[in-house]
Amino acid sequence: MVLGEWRAQPGRTLAAILAIAVGVGLGLAIHLVNRSALDEFAGAIRSVSGAADLQVQAASSAGFDEDLYPILARLDGVATASPVVELRARTDGGEPLTVLGLDPLRAAAVTPNLLGGGAVGGGGEGGVTTAEAVFDLDAITLSPAALQQSGLRVGDQVRLSAAGQSASFRIVGILEGVSGDRALGVIDIAAAQWRFDQLGRLHRLDLRLSPGVDRSAVERTVQANLPAEAALVTPQSEMRRTESLSRAYRVNLQMLALVALLTGGFLVYSAQSLSVTRRRPQFALLRVLGLPARGMLGQVLIEGVVLGLAGAALGVVLGVALAELALRLLGGDLGGGYFSGGRPPLVFTPVAAAIIFGLGVAIAVLGSLFPALQAERIPAAVALKTGSGESAETAGQPLPWLSLGLLAAGGLAALGPPVGGVPLFGYGAIALILAGGVGTMPWLARGLLGPLRRLRSPAPPIALAIARLWGAPRQAAVALCGIVASTSLMVAMAVMVTSFRGSVEDWLVQILPADIYMRLDPGLTLDPEAQARLAAAPEAAAIEFRQSFNLRLSPDRPPVQVSARGQAGAGAGEGLPLVGRQVTAEGLPAWISEPMARLYDLSPGDRLTLPIGPGAQAQVTVAGVWRDYSNQFGALILDQAAYTALTGDAGRAEAAMTLAPGVEPATAIEAFRARLPPSIAGGADFAEPREIRAVALRIFDRSFAVTYALEAIAILVGLAGVATTFSAQTLARRKEFGMLRHVGVRRGQIMQMLATEGALLGAVGALAGLTLGVIMSQVLIHVVNPQSFNWTMETRLPWPLLASLAAALVATSAGAAVLAGRGAVADSAVRAVREDW
C-alpha cells in the first residue's frame, strides 16, 4: 500500500527524500570537512611541537629570556626541557618557511620528529657516524614540503632571511618526521641565535615530563615560574585554540545545514499531509474494513521512516562526496581562511555520520507525525460519504495562539547570551521564529487574501481562485510552509551577508585612507635612517610608519595583533573607524578593536598590561574601540612613539603613504622603491587601497561561497517542493475541474484560475518568507554575528535579490500549477466526473 502510494506520487516522494538528503548531506559534509581540517591542523601542530608534553611559548615574536630554560629544566617533574628559537624566514627564492633552532641533544628526548636522519637519536646505521651533523652550525635539515617548495635538494646551499638578517646553510638532510605541507627547517639553536640576531632569546621550551608525575601539579609549578612574556601551552590548549579559530564559523555552517534539514522536514510534512488528505477515502475504507485507527497512524509513520531512511542514506553518500569536493576546491576551512594552505585528506567519522543520519530520519518522522495523527482521526463514515479528497475545513480559523507564542519565545531567546562562544540562543530564536512564522500561515493567508475578496467583479477565473484559497487556507498553508521556510532562511542569510559586505566595504574605505601602502617581508625592517630617507621623497606628502606583531595575551586564545602607528603630532587613534565612546587616557593610550573589546571584556578607560618592553609589563589604557573585520581575535593599536619608547624597537615594517598632489601612484612606488636600502627593496610590497580592497572583498566572497551555495540549495529544494506540492494538489482536483467543465467553464479559464491560484499562493509565500527572513536576519546581525565573531554591522537590504526572489517564487508557483493543470484538465470532462461516482 505504501509502495502503491509512492508509485502514484513519485515526484512528491522524491522531493521529500531529496530534501532530507540535502539536509543530511550538507550537515555531514560540513562536519567532515572541518574534522579533516582540524585533524590536519592538529597534525601540523604536533609535527612542529613534536611530542612535547607541555610547551612554553613566547607571548610575541620577541621571545623570552633564555634564563627561563635552566629554571624550567630543573623543576621537579620535568624530565627534559628542549629550548627552541622559532623564526619566520624566507629562502632566497622567496618561499616562506618556519625555521626552528634546536639543541638536537635535547630535542632528541622531547621532539625526536624534529630531527633529521643526521641527528643523535635518528638511529641511522653505523651509529656514531650519524652524529656528524649534530653540531654543524652551517647545516639545515628541511621538511619534505620545504624542499619541494624551494626546489632544492640535499647538498645544496640555501640562503635564509629572518629577523632582518640573512645566512647561508647547507642542506644536510630531510625531516622525515614532519608530515604534510609544513615548510620547516631545523638548524642548531646556537646558529639561530647568532645568525638571526636572537642572542639571549628563546621562543619556545618543549617539555617532557618524568614518567608518572602529576601532570597538573607540574603545570602549576611551570606556570608559577613563567614571566609575563611567556605562556604555558598544553597540547589540549593548543587544540582548543585551533578549534576556537574556526569554531564560530563551523558552528554557523553546521546550523545552516541543520536549517536545510529542517526545511526538508517541512517538505516531508507538506508531502505527507497532501498524501493523507488524498487518501482519506482509502483510509476510511480501511477503517470500515476493520483496521484500527492506530493502524493508520502506524502506516503514515512507517512511510515517514522509510522516506527518512532513504533520504538520510542518500544524504550520507551525498555528504561524503560533497566533503571530498569541498576539500578539493575550497580547502579545509571551506574558504573561511582559518587554516593556511594544505588540502587535508578526508577523515570519515562514523559516529557523526550516524548522528546526522539519525537526525535526518527523526525529522522525516516528525514531519510525518502531524499528518499521521490527522489520518488516525479520520472519521470513517464521513470520509466515505463525502468520497472527497478535500478535508473539511473548519470555517473561521482562530488566531494561531501557539504560533504567536513561538514567535514571542523566539524574540525572547534572541536576547540570550552566547553559550561557550556559540550563539545557541540566537539559533534557537531563529528556529522558534521559523516554526512560529510557518504556523501563522493559514491565518496570514486568509488575512492577506481578504482584501482580494472585496474586488469588484473580477474575471471569473480569478474570482474562483480567490474563493478557493479563501475557503481552504489550511491546504494553502500546507503548500506554503516548505516555501516559506526555505525562502525566509535564504532571505535572512542574504540580508546578513549583504549587510556584512556593505559594512566591510565602508570599513575598508575608512581604514585605508592613504594612497599607497607598503609592507616588508617577514624579518625585514626599516631603521630610522631608512625611514627618514623614504619620508624625504618629494612624491610623498606624508608617510606614516607602522610596526605590527602578534602578542599572546591568553594561552588558550589566538594572539592579538598589536600595531604601532600614528604620525608625529597626531594620535594613533586618528582616522580609525571608532565605535562607541572615547576617553582621554591617563598614561599610554591604546585603541582596541571591537573583537578584542568583546573577547577580553574591555571598554574605554580600562587598563591593560601588555607583555612587551623591559619587564614585559607595559601598562596601557583603552582610549577607544574601533571596528575591525580583519582580525577576529583582536587587534590593538599603540602610538608609535610610545611603542618605540617602550620597547626600544625603532624599526618599522609597514608604511602608509599619502602622495603629494598630482603624483601618480605608479611613479611614486618606483620612487619609493628606489629609496629603500638595496637589501630591502626586493622584499617590499606596495599596494594601492583599491587593490587591497579588491583583494579583501575577494577573500570575503570566497569565505562566503559556501554560504551562498547553501542558500542556493535551500531555495532550489524549496522551489522543487512548491512545484511538486502544487502538481499534487492540482492532480487531486481532477473531479473539481470536471465539474467546472460541466458547468461551462472553459479549459482556458481553468488554466487561468490555476495560474492565479499559484501566483497568489506564491505571492503570499514570498511576502511571508521575506517578512520572516528580514526578522531572522536581524537575529543573525545583532545576535549571532556579534556572539560568534565579535563584530557588528549595519543592516542593508539586497532589494534586487529580494525582488527577483519574490518574482521567481510567484512564477514557479504559477508555472507548476499550470503545468500540472494541463494534465489534469486534458481528461474529458465526463470521465473526470464519472471517476468519482
Partner 1 sequence: MIPRRAFAGLLGAGLIAPATPGLAQDRTGAPVFAPVRPGRSLTFPADHGAHPDFRTEWWYVTGWLQAQGQPIGFQITFFRIRTGADTRNPSAFAPTQVIFAHAAISDPAVGRLIHTQRIARAGFGLAEAKVGDMDIVLDDWRLRRVPDGTLKAYAGDQAFGLDLSLAPTQPPLLQGERGFSRKGPRADQASYYYSLPHLKVSGALTREGRRIAVTGEAWMDQEWSSTLLDARAVGWDWAGINLDGGGALTAFQVRDQQGQAVWAGGSLRGPDGRTTIFAPGDVRFVTRRQWRSPRTGARYPIARDIQARTPAGPRVWRLEPLFDDQELDSRPVGPVYWEGAVRTEGGRGYLELTGYDAPLAL
Give percent helix, percent strand, percent coil of the chain, each to the nearest 5.
Answer: 55, 15, 25
Q: Which residues, 6 or more positions from 505, have their beta carbon under 8 angstroms from its beta carbon? A: 693, 697
Contact 43, 213 (CB under 8 A): no
Minimum CB distance to partner 1, residue 198 (Å)? 8
**Distance (Å, rounded) from C-alpha 185 to C-alpha 203?**
15
How long is the chain?
A: 837
**Distance (Å, rounded) from C-alpha 63 to C-alpha 638?**
20
Minimum CB distance to partner 1, residue 78 (Å)? 10
Nearer to partner 1, 121 or 411 (CB): 121
Minimum CB distance to partner 1, residue 49 (Å)? 20
Residues in the site for partner 1, rule: CB under 8 A? 66-67, 69-70, 73-74, 80, 83, 103, 105-106, 120-124, 126-132, 134-135, 137, 188-191, 193-194, 199-200, 211
Nearer to partner 1, 134 or 512 (CB): 134
Minimum CB distance to partner 1, residue 82 (Å)? 11
Angle at 244 between CA 240 and CA 245, to 5 degrees: 120
Whose CA is closest to 486, among 273, 773, 707?
773
Nearer to partner 1, 105 or 530 (CB): 105
DSSP type of residue 460: H
Whose CA is closest to 518, among 340, 341, 691, 699?
691
Q: Which residues, 6 or more positions from 131, have their beta carbon under 8 angstroms from its beta carbon? A: 119, 120
Nearer to partner 1, 73 or 705 (CB): 73
Minimum CB distance to partner 1, residue 101 (Å)? 8
Minimum CB distance to partner 1, residue 140 (Å)? 16
**Distance (Å, rounded) from C-alpha 15 to C-alpha 720?**
7
Minimum CB distance to partner 1, residue 432 (Å)? 60
Residue 378 burial class via C-beta count within 10 angstroms: exposed 0-12, middle 13-18, buried 19 and up: buried
DSSP H/E element including 431: helix 424-439
Minimum CB distance to partner 1, residue 200 (Å)? 7
Nearer to partner 1, 198 or 561 (CB): 198
Residue 4's CB is within 10 A of a number of other CB atoms, namely: 10
Minimum CB distance to partner 1, residue 787 (Å)? 46
Nearer to partner 1, 20 or 191 (CB): 191
Whose CA is closest to 168, among 199, 197, 134, 139?
139
Helices (H) and strands (E) in the chain, counts: 29, 21
Residue 225's CB is within 10 A of a number of other CB atoms, namely: 15
Q: Which residue has the cell 484559497?
A: 469
DSSP H/E element including 204: strand 204-209
**Distance (Å, rounded) from C-alpha 404 to C-alpha 518?**
56
Contact 607, 618 (CB under 8 A): no
DSSP H/E element including 543: strand 540-551
**Distance (Å, rounded) from C-alpha 562 to C-alpha 552?**
10
Minimum CB distance to partner 1, residue 83 (Å)? 7
Minimum CB distance to partner 1, residue 76 (Å)? 10
Minimum CB distance to partner 1, residue 120 (Å)? 6
DSSP H/E element including 511: helix 473-511
Nearer to partner 1, 130 or 486 (CB): 130
Whose CA is closest to 649, among 58, 197, 65, 195?
197
Minimum CB distance to partner 1, residue 115 (Å)? 11
The separation between CA 201 and the C-alpha centre of its own chain, rounded to angstroms, equals 38
Nearer to partner 1, 136 or 506 (CB): 136
Minimum CB distance to partner 1, residue 119 (Å)? 9
Residue 466 burial class via C-beta count within 10 angstroms: exposed 0-12, middle 13-18, buried 19 and up: buried
Nearer to partner 1, 73 or 366 (CB): 73
Between 747-779 and 799-826, two packed helices, what is the crossing angle to 10 degrees? Answer: 150
Minimum CB distance to partner 1, residue 135 (Å)? 4
Contact 551, 559 (CB under 8 A): yes
Q: Which residues, 6 or more positions from 529, have their beta carbon under 8 angstroms from its beta carbon? A: none
Nearer to partner 1, 73 or 692 (CB): 73
Q: Which residues of 65-87 are buried (b: 16+ CB within 10 A; e: fewer)?
A: ebebbebbbeeebbebbbbbbbb
Minimum CB distance to partner 1, residue 155 (Å)? 17
**Distance (Å, rounded) from C-alpha 658 to C-alpha 646?**
27
Nearer to partner 1, 212 or 569 (CB): 212
Nearer to partner 1, 105 or 705 (CB): 105
The residues that bridge with 635 in the sheet, in sequence order, are 561
Q: Which residues, 6 or more positions from 735, have their beta carbon under 8 angstroms from its beta carbon? A: 832, 833, 835, 836
Nearer to partner 1, 66 or 649 (CB): 66
Minimum CB distance to partner 1, residue 593 (Å)? 38
Nearer to partner 1, 67 or 794 (CB): 67
Nearer to partner 1, 198 or 785 (CB): 198
Nearer to partner 1, 120 or 178 (CB): 120
Q: What is the DSSP string of 604-640?
A: TT-EEEES-SGGG-EEEEEEEEE--SS-TT-EEEEEH
Nearer to partner 1, 46 or 208 (CB): 208
